Amino acid sequence: MGWGVFGKLKIQKWGNLRRFCTRSCDYNGYDVFARNIEITRWVKSGNLMVARKVFDEMPDRTVVSWNIMVSGYSRFGRFGDALSMVSAMHVGGVKLNETTFASALSACARLPSLCGGKQVHCVVVKSGSEDFRLVGSALLYIYASCFEIEDARQVFDLFHEMNELLWGLMLVGYVQCSLMDNALDVFYSMPIRDVIAWTSVISGYCKIDDGCGKALQLFNTMRGSGEAKPNEFTLDPIIRACARVGLLHEGRAFHGLVMRYGYEFEHSISAALIGFYCDCDVIDDAKKVFDRLTSPSLNETNVFIEKLIAAGRIVEAELIFNGLPERNTVSYNLMIKGYSLCGRSEDSEKLYLEMHHRTILSSNIMISVYSRTDQLEKAVDLFEKTKEEKNPVTWNSMISGYIRNDQHENALKLYAVMHKNSISKTRSTYSALFHSCSCLGSIQLGQLLHAHLIKTPFVSNVYVGTALVDMYSKCGNISNAQKSFISISSPSVAAWTALIHGYAHNGFGSETILCFKEMINQGVHPNAATFVAVLSACAHAGFINKGIEFFHIMKENYGIAPSLEHFTCLVDLLGRSGRLREAEELIKEMPVEADGIIWGALLNACWFWMDMDVGERVAAKMLLFFPIPTSTYIIMSNIYAMLGKWEEKMKVRKLLRGLDVKKDPGCSWIELNNSINVFSVEDRTHPSCNSVYAMLEHLTENLISVRK
């Protein structure tokens, strides 16, 4: 009786299975297949130690055995161990297959290890496995994850026609690198645009400056095209983008869509909505969203606590915190920071000591708290206990603590230790230290740090670049300030303002105005600080009409209400030009309350122009602000002396003597070997004072002998 076609196929399949099982077993009945199943079971349960023990005890292994261990290590974040297994396979002559390559490349991307990824890529090329879908995808993923976007593009161009997975990965790679024009080109060329593709490009625009408008446009196009329906991952970044730029009306509309699609109680969405309403200063609406949650997650509660603290509503945040059935380190850290911001440092310390599990972040916050509250010794003690973890934020916190307490030399010394121990630096490290150099007036140390910065990825960072421009400007090197500004990839208004202030500070009035106009031409809107720099430059350069013009366009064109600082610049401007009575009337009529600084600016102008009448009225005002009006008496004494009013001068001098004040001696300084050396008259505190005075005496004798 014949088996027929299907019967023959069944016999052939059974024969193949028997041959496979025979190859999987040795002559003693050893079963590789069974051991692989056992290893898989241990890996899935997370018991990698037992899985590895079973693997090591196997007398024979297949490539499947190795791949199970490689993927197991990767699954639980042990990427180094995964790559060690792949290396052992390669050295041991085990033929790597597409599964091995995909797992190895994924581990390199997650580490990340670009060098390791390139080594695996070489083996892939030799084996001819590049055209496998998973391998090609993993290759693009490793290069995109390491921000080697050009290499990722090469992989995409070679294989995207035969591997549709590469479209989405290339899109995500461009988004991660903030190359949104390239991302959009890939997006519009995609054969199929699903919700993941739409969400990727929308979220990318949401994360960049000035990208919210484009994100909203794409979202509306998505809904209109019908290609995909937005999900919670699409709505989340859109709501957060509206929060970032303060689009209350648009955000409310998206809240309506959230309710329509049924995502209101998704944890990420509700947290985004709470953050949105708080950032738009509609705290009560945020509270409504929070109160509607039947069982708010700890994450949502923490978001609300954080936003309440940011809004200065510490009492409400405290009530929610105290009512939490459970707290995590995030909850504690938020309240510790909140207490410190409102001046309750004792409560911060109490809460920190109460924590059962303190993270490095908790310690970093407390270092900052101690530094801000004149408890630097406690900050140093805590730093000494945690510095061995080599967390860069810990070191940055201590550096900032020294700077906040005017211990700039200690901050720079700590950086030297940080550099010696190869601890990672961040943009905050360099920004803080450049500020420290500007406070010291040490251009040599600033240039040394700049040399270190050039070797880092932060050389074009806008925050670091702004601090660098400010440092060079305050040290009088406007040429290097210009070069540093040019190196910034995308200068912000703060960067432009730092350069404008640098020109103004160093007496370049015309360049200040030209720089301001160039900023406007580049589409960057000035802020209040920008106009302070411009008005100050106009005052020092004598550009009276220009200064008055800038003062008026500040509000008319840019909607910036003049602050006391702006009025002080205008008073200084008018005073320097001799328009003292006009300046006096301006102070009386301005909508903000005058302080001693603005009256002082006018009194200095009265001294310059020897206007006794206005000077006396201004001096009377200044006596209300300063309990010991030393400078007021000195200026009026000089005015009386220059005008020959000797009786009035003697009266003022008598009052000045009655104050029993001593004038601070003038000083000079020189920077030598990265150290600032300060000298004043008859100063004996310098460690090398004997040598200095010996040299001074020698120079004096030489000068006398030359005259003879």
Q: Is residue 304 part of a domain?
A: no
pLDDT at 29: 42
Report the Cα 550 to chain-centroid distance in Å: 32
Over the stretch 177-217, which tens digit does the pLDDT of each residue have?
889 999 999 999 999 999 999 999 999 998 887 788 899 89
Q: Is residue 627 part of a domain?
A: yes
Round to whole Å and give the CA distance between 527 and 497.
Answer: 8
Give the count of domains, the chain.
2
Over the stretch 552-568, which tens digit does the pLDDT of each residue have?
999 899 999 999 999 99
Q: Which of 627, 642, 663 is the last residue of a domain?
A: 663
In this structure, the answer to whether residues 643 and 577 fall within a common structural domain is: yes
Q: Is residue 78 part of a domain?
A: no
Tokens of 399: 């550096």
pTM for the whole structure: 0.66
> Among candidates 80, 69, 156, which has minimal Cα distance to 112?
80
- Of residues 165 and 686, which shows the higher confidence score? 165
Round to whole Å and give the CA distance between 155 and 139.
Answer: 7
pLDDT at 161: 87
Q: Is the peptide bond before 392 cis (omega within 30 degrees of 0)?
A: no
pLDDT band at 693 (very low <50, low <70, confident <90, very high): confident
In this structure, the answer to whether residues 597 and 673 fall within a common structural domain is: no
In this structure, the answer to whether residues 587 and 650 fall within a common structural domain is: yes
Over the stretch 310-350, which tens digit does the pLDDT of each residue have?
888 899 999 989 988 888 899 999 999 899 888 888 999 99
Strand partners, 676: 671
In this structure, the answer to whether residues 597 and 626 fall within a common structural domain is: yes
pLDDT at 147: 86
Structural element, H or E, at residue 672: strand 667-672
Q: What CATH number corresponds to the domain at position 591?
A: 1.25.40.10
Round to whole Å and give the CA distance between 78 and 505.
Answer: 54
Q: Is residue 146 part of a domain?
A: no
Q: Is residue 499 part of a domain?
A: no
In this structure, the answer to whether residues 575 and 658 fall within a common structural domain is: yes
* Count of beta carbons in the 10 Å neighbourhood of residue 598: 26
In this structure, the answer to whether residues 653 and 567 fall within a common structural domain is: yes
Cβ 299 vs Cβ 271: under 8 Å:
yes
Round to whole Å and give the CA distance between 178 and 49.
Answer: 41
Q: Is residue 645 part of a domain?
A: yes
Round to whole Å and give the CA distance between 355 and 364.
Answer: 14
- Which residue is it, tokens 């040490």? 442
Round to whole Å and give the CA distance between 188 and 250.
Answer: 26
Q: Which domain holds residue 706?
A: 667-708
Q: Is residue 120 part of a domain?
A: no
3-state secondary structure of 328: coil
For the cut 70, the answer to whether the pLDDT of residue 123 exceeds it is: yes
In this structure, the answer to whether residues 580 and 610 fall within a common structural domain is: yes
Pairing relationship of beta strands 667-672 and 675-680 according to DSSP bridges: antiparallel
Q: What percent of the chain has pLDDT over 70?
A: 92
In this structure, the answer to whether residues 645 and 677 fall within a common structural domain is: no
Cβ 590 vs Cβ 569: under 8 Å:
no
Q: Which of 644, 663, 682 is the last residue of a domain?
A: 663
> Among candidates 475, 491, 425, which has minimal Cα distance to 452?
425
In this structure, the answer to whether residues 649 and 579 fall within a common structural domain is: yes
Q: Is residue 195 part of a domain?
A: no
Round to whole Å and give the CA distance between 32 and 58.
Answer: 8
